[in-house]
Amino acid sequence: MAGDKPADEAPRALTPEETKARKRRNLMIALGLVAFIIIVFLVTLFRIGENITQWGGL
């Protein structure tokens, strides 16, 4: 078929260990992103809190 890759460019099938390692890697990246989102959320809350405190002092 014209769209097929040549045999020497076909992706190698992953072993079960490699599939596990890839899942672990994806999980770690996802956890990293979630942690980052939580930190940004908390920093935003902190900033808003600071601003509210400043308005209260006016």
Residue 52 sits in the site that holds other proteins (CB under 8 A): no
Interaction of residue 38 with other proteins, rule CB under 8 A: no
Q: How far is the CB of 56 from other proteins (least distance, A)?
A: 18
Residues 6+ apart with CB under 8 A from 22: 14
Determine if 34 is a binding residue for other proteins (CB under 8 A). Answer: no
Rounded distance between C-alpha atoms, residue 20 and residue 27, angstroms: 11
Q: Two tokens at 58?
A: 């006016």
Q: How far apart are CA 41 and CA 48, in angstroms?
A: 11
Binding positions for other proteins, rule: CB under 8 A: 11-12, 14, 18, 21-22, 24-25, 28-29, 36, 39-40, 42-44, 46-47
